Amino acid sequence: MIDRMDKAMLAFQAAATARKIYGADHPVAARQLDLATDLLTKMLAERQQVRIVRLDKSVIFDDAPLPSCPLFAETLVSRLAVHGVEWIEFRAGLSKNELIGFGEQLDQPAGDSVRLGTPHIRLGRLGRVEGGMGPGDGSGKGTFGDHATQLRQIWAGLRSGDKPDEKLNDLVESIRLAVAVGADVCQQLAEVKSHDEYTFVHTVNVAILSAALGEAVGMSPNQVFDLTLAALLHDVGKQRTPLTILNKPGKLDEAERKQMERHTVAGAAILLQRPGVPDVAPIVAYEHHANVDGTGYPRLPRSGKPHLASQIVHVADVFDALRTNRPYRAAMEDEKVRQILMEGAGKSFDPALVEIFLEQVVAGRKLRQRKLSA
pLDDT tens digits, one per residue of 41-50: 999 999 888 9
Instruction: Pick the closest to residue 151 from 87, 260, 272, 236 (CA basis).
Output: 236
Using one digit for the tens of pLDDT, what is the confidence trace for 228-241? 989 988 988 888 88
pLDDT for 51 beyond 50 = yes
> What's the CA angle centered on 178, arms 191 and 98, to 5 degrees?
120
The mean per-residue pLDDT over the stretch 198-224 comes to 85
- pLDDT score at 33: 93
- pLDDT score at 140: 36
Range picked from 18-27, 156-165, 230-239, 365-374 for highest mean pLDDT? 230-239
- pLDDT score at 355: 95
The mean per-residue pLDDT over the stretch 309-334 comes to 87
The mean per-residue pLDDT over the stretch 182-195 comes to 43
> What's the CA angle centered on 330, arms 326 and 333, to 5 degrees?
120
Is residue 174 very low, low, confident or very high in pLDDT (cuts 50, 70, 90)? Answer: low
Is residue 96 very low, low, confident or very high in pLDDT (cuts 50, 70, 90)? Answer: very high
Dihedral (CA of 112, 115, 117, 120) sign: negative
The mean per-residue pLDDT over the stretch 89-107 comes to 92
CATH 1.10.3210.10 location in the chain: 145-373
The mean per-residue pLDDT over the stretch 216-232 comes to 89
- Cβ distance 120 to 101 under 8 Å? no
Is residue 133 very low, low, confident or very high in pLDDT (cuts 50, 70, 90)? Answer: low
Q: What is the bridge-based pairing of β-strands 121-124 and 58-61?
A: unpaired
- pLDDT score at 367: 40
Distance CA(112)–CA(205), nearest Å, equals 34
Distance CA(183)–CA(126), nearest Å, equals 7
Is residue 65 very low, low, confident or very high in pLDDT (cuts 50, 70, 90)? Answer: confident
Is residue 145 very low, low, confident or very high in pLDDT (cuts 50, 70, 90)? Answer: very low
Is residue 141 very low, low, confident or very high in pLDDT (cuts 50, 70, 90)? Answer: very low
Is residue 353 very low, low, confident or very high in pLDDT (cuts 50, 70, 90)? Answer: very high
Radius of gyration from C-alpha coordinates of the chain: 23
Higher per-residue confidence, 98 vs 205: 98
The mean per-residue pLDDT over the stretch 134-145 comes to 43
- pLDDT score at 107: 86
Mean predicted lDDT score pLDDT of the chain: 80
Is residue 147 very low, low, confident or very high in pLDDT (cuts 50, 70, 90)? Answer: low
Range with lowest mean pLDDT among 85-94, 108-117, 190-199, 317-326: 190-199
Reply yes or no on domain 145-373 having CATH 1.10.3210.10: yes
pLDDT for 215 beyond 80 = yes
Using one digit for the tens of pLDDT, what is the confidence trace for 249-288? 888 999 999 999 999 999 898 888 777 788 999 999 999 9
The mean per-residue pLDDT over the stretch 203-231 comes to 89
- pLDDT score at 100: 92
Using one digit for the tens of pLDDT, what is the confidence trace for 2-14? 999 999 999 999 9
Instruction: Pick the closest to residue 1 from 43, 41, 32, 30 (CA basis).
Output: 43
Is residue 247 very low, low, confident or very high in pLDDT (cuts 50, 70, 90)? Answer: confident
- pLDDT score at 114: 61
Classify residue 264 as exposed, middle or buried by CB count within 10 Å of its CB (0-12, 13-18, 19+).
buried
Is residue 194 very low, low, confident or very high in pLDDT (cuts 50, 70, 90)? Answer: very low
